[in-house]
Amino acid sequence: MLRISEFDAVLVFLRSSTTETVIFKLREMRLLLGELSCSHCSNRMVCVPYAKCIDGHTWRCYKGTCEGKKLRISIRKNSMFSESKLSLVDTMSIVFYFSQGKSIIEASTDFGISRKTTGSIYKLLRLQISSYISNEPARLGGPGAVCQVDESLFCHKVKAHRGRAPREQVWVFGILYDIAKSLGNFYVQVVSNRSAAVLQPIFEQVVCDYSEIYSDEWAAYPAICRNLGLAHKIVNHSRHFVNPESGVHTQNIESLWNVLKSKIKKMCGVRKEDLQDYLNEFMWRNRIQGSAFEALVSLLKVN
């Protein structure tokens, strides 16, 4: 017997269910409001059928003495759907594709939705993820733990005149914890320059006390580590990839740069002003445990 995959099961449910079923499920998932009070009389409103709107349902107050009893409120109020003109099914299908790492082109083609509209939803989701990363900053390292630090120039080459050519240098600073793993846990941030004044606040925010720092010979690192009381070991890349005496290296974070740049390259480049949102998405995907779709849904719940 053919076993349907979880991926196919979600899509089948979304695209074959009735509008009422989808609304019920989205309210159950807290992606739509489960209840709403009338702004005029504070009476509890009722979700009722209404054929003239895209969702076929609206909120309405039925208190006879209420001044707003004739008003209809969208069931999308306060939700991620409030600014979208797509159906709930199409929007959730795009959300699901995003969670699975599908490209804008794949989602646009499979669902027959313009790339511009699909891209706007992808951007919205990245903004939600960026808000989460900002509110839940990484804390890496700890007593006896090693953090590799490095900075890298994100400047892709344009091939055959395709993609966006970079207008200026864009530096990204990174901290990677757990050198036993190829990627481990990491934090990456676009920076204006690589000075100690710019990098030290990031150390203070991300690196736990009593961590040990591995780095190359960039001049800012010794001063930062002294200021913060962090143990610091160096590898001289002009001589060795790995310090032959101490075994210190930064190969894991250098591998991280290769992975991130490869992802960016597949997108034919990313605008500087959008780069941090993409980096935040990469950090989020590295951080989550279990289903990416469930993790994304948890960020989109209405208050």
The secondary structure of 24-92 as a DSSP string is HHHHHTTSS-S--B-TTT-PBPEEEE-TTSTTSEEEE---TT-TTTT-EEETTTTSTTTT--S-HHHHH
The first and second tokens of residue 263, run together, are 């992802």
Say yes or no to pLDDT of 269 above 90: no
Locate the domains of the chain by residue range: 146-270
Instruction: Classify strands 185-191 and 171-177 as parallel, antiparallel or unpaired.
Output: antiparallel
What is the pLDDT averaged over residues 132-158?
87
Mean pLDDT of the chain: 88
Q: Residue 254: helix, strand or coil by DSSP?
A: helix
How many Å is the Cα radius of gyration of the chain?
Answer: 24
Residue 210 pLDDT class (50, 70, 90 cuts): very high
Residue 248 pLDDT class (50, 70, 90 cuts): confident
The first and second tokens of residue 20, run together, are 């009422």
pTM for the model: 0.87
Quickly count: other Cβ atoms within 10 Å of residue 79's Cβ.
22
Contacts of 162 (CB under 8 A, 6+ apart): 268
Q: Residue 282: helix, strand or coil by DSSP?
A: helix
Say yes or no to pLDDT of 184 above 50: yes
Say yes or no to pLDDT of 267 above 60: yes
Percent of the chain with pLDDT over 90: 68
pLDDT tens, position by position, 2-43: 344 666 788 888 888 888 899 999 999 999 999 999 999 999
Question: What's the rounded Cα separation, in Å, for the pair 247 and 270?
Answer: 36
Domain 146-270, architecture per CATH? 2-Layer Sandwich (3.30)
More confident residue, 135 or 247: 135
Say yes or no to pLDDT of 166 above 60: no
Tell me which residue has tokens 């079923």: 21
